[in-house]
C-alpha cells in the first residue's frame, strides 16, 4: 500500500486548507483512515479518523473546524481544515489502519505534507 499526502502550504490565521491522501491498492476499501500531525518539538498526535463505515472521530482541538472524509471509488481521503490557527502548524500525515473499541491503530503511513499557519 502506498499513501500520498498533498495539499499543505502557507495560510493566514482563520484561513482554510484541504489536504488530500491518495492510496493505492484495494485494501483502502476495508481499512480505516486517519490524519495525524506532528508539530516541531512535539509528538505525533491523532487529528481525525474515519472508519471504513464512515464513522468519524476528532481530536478535541480540531472539533468543529476540521472535517475528514473519504471517497472509496477514488481511493482518496480528505481533511478539510477551516479556521486555522498558528497552533495547527505541523507536518500532517495520512494513514490506513484498524480500530478496536474506538482506538485507532495505524498500519500504513504516507509521507507528510507541511501546513504552516502564519500571518
Q: Hey, how many other C-beta atoms are within 10 angstroms of the C-beta on 68?
A: 24
**pLDDT value for 15:** 98
**pLDDT value for 73:** 92
**pLDDT value for 29:** 84
First to last CA, the chain: 37
CA distance 80 to 2: 21
CA dihedral sign of residues 80, 82, 88, 89: positive
Alpha helices (H) in 4-116, listed in sequence order: none
CA distance 79 to 59: 13
pLDDT, one tens digit per residue, over 24-47 is 988 888 899 999 999 999 999 999
Residue % of the chain over a pLDDT of 70: 100
pLDDT, one tens digit per residue, over 92-109 is 999 999 999 889 999 999
Higher pLDDT, 88 or 1: 88
Q: What integer is the mean pLDDT of 49-69?
A: 96
pLDDT tier for residue 1 given thresholds of 50, 70 and 90: confident
DSSP assignment, residue 112?
P
**pLDDT value for 54:** 94
The chain-wide mean pLDDT, for the chain, equals 95
Q: What integer is the mean pLDDT of 49-63?
A: 96
Helix (H, G, I), strand (E, B) or coil at 85: coil
Amino acid at each position: 500500500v502506498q499513501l500520498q499526502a498533498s495539499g499543505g502550504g502557507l495560510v493566514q490565521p482563520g484561513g482554510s486548507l484541504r489536504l488530500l491522501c491518495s492510496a493505492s491498492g484495494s485494501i483502502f476499501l476495508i481499512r480505516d483512515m486517519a490524519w495525524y500531525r506532528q508539530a516541531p518539538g512535539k509528538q505525533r498526535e491523532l487529528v481525525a479518523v474515519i472508519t471504513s463505515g464512515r464513522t468519524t472521530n476528532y481530536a478535541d482541538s480540531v472539533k468543529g473546524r476540521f472535517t475528514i472524509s473519504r471517497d472509496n471509488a477514488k481511493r482518496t481521503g480528505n481533511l478539510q481544515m477551516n479556521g486555522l490557527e498558528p497552533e495547527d502548524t505541523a507536518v500532517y500525515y495520512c494513514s490506513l489502519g484498524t480500530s478496536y473499541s474506538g482506538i485507532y491503530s495505524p498500519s500504513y503511513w504516507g509521507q507528510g505534507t507541511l501546513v504552516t499557519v502564519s500571518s
